[in-house]
A and B are shown apart, each in its own frame.
Chain A
Amino acid sequence: MPRKNPARERPQRRKTTHHHGEPADAFRCVGCRLDVPMIAPGTAHRNHCPHCLTSLHVDHRIPGDRRAGCRGRMAALSVTVRPDGEWLIIHHCQSCGELSANRIAGDDNALALLRIAMRPLSDSRLPVNALLAL
């Protein structure tokens, strides 16, 4: 796939180690320290760790955005489903509070995704009456 915006393809800290003079196509996750390859199945670029789903706040979507250099840790807050059925992770920056929605990748940790999706349903304050009405 052509690179439309190289900045968005480096969501986390790029490793500075080089092999054969080429920059390493991997980053170290700011959440779990896993070394993650940039190439992800099913998406043009990776924007979060496939193991713990953590991301890094480096989006330059808004030119001149004063938070563009935030580099805060973005935790997976919840999931949502697009009209076409695809899951998105809602990430929440722990430094500046920014929210972003990101497509899941083919090798994302299914159990971690499921735990986030289950959060509202495992709440003890669940509105049971509403659930029974479904």
Chain B
Amino acid sequence: MAANGKPRSIVNTETFPCVRCGLTVTATAPDGSRRNHCPSCLHSQHVLDRVEGGPSECRSRMIPISIAVLRTGDWMIIHRCTRCGELTSNPICGDDNQLILMRMAVRPLAQPPFPLEAFGDL
């Protein structure tokens, strides 16, 4: 891992197995950024302690639950840990599964808590 957290120009061949689908994932995305989730199923693992800033003891599976759009227009995936409930947000990568991303984006509108007809065309 780069000590300063910046992407390295040299090819990084480090991999990790996805905790959900078992895919062997390269730790570095094509754009050079560091991955924290599987590009195929978008699941992650609770390996960072947000409070302490170091490694987490939890290491449980984290489920993608929501898409957030920042003011910059960047998409973030919100993950929730299946064991401790911790929420994290991480940028999407260029090769993330777009079908799953879109399913997550439309899911709330498919199950609205109020009739959408009342709003007409938005």
Contacts and interface: CB of A to CB of B under 8 A. Distances in A.
Interface of A: 62, 65-67, 77-81, 85-87, 90, 92, 98-101, 104, 110-111, 113-114, 117-121, 123-125, 127, 129-131, 133-134
B67 interface: yes
B51 A67 contact: yes
Given A101-B80, A114-B116, A134-B103, A81 B73 contact: no
Contacts of A114: 112, 116, 119, 122
B112 to A, nearest CB: 8
B69 interface: yes
Interface of B: 50-51, 65-69, 73, 75, 78, 80, 87-89, 98-99, 101-103, 105-109, 111-114, 116, 118-119, 122
Contacts, number: 89
B66 A80 contact: yes
A104 B101 CA distance: 23
24 contacts: A67-B51, A77-B68, A78-B69, A78-B78, A80-B107, A81-B107, A81-B108, A86-B113, A87-B108, A90-B65, A90-B66, A90-B68, A90-B87, A99-B88, A101-B80, A110-B118, A120-B69, A120-B75, A125-B73, A127-B98, A130-B98, A134-B99, A134-B103, A134-B106
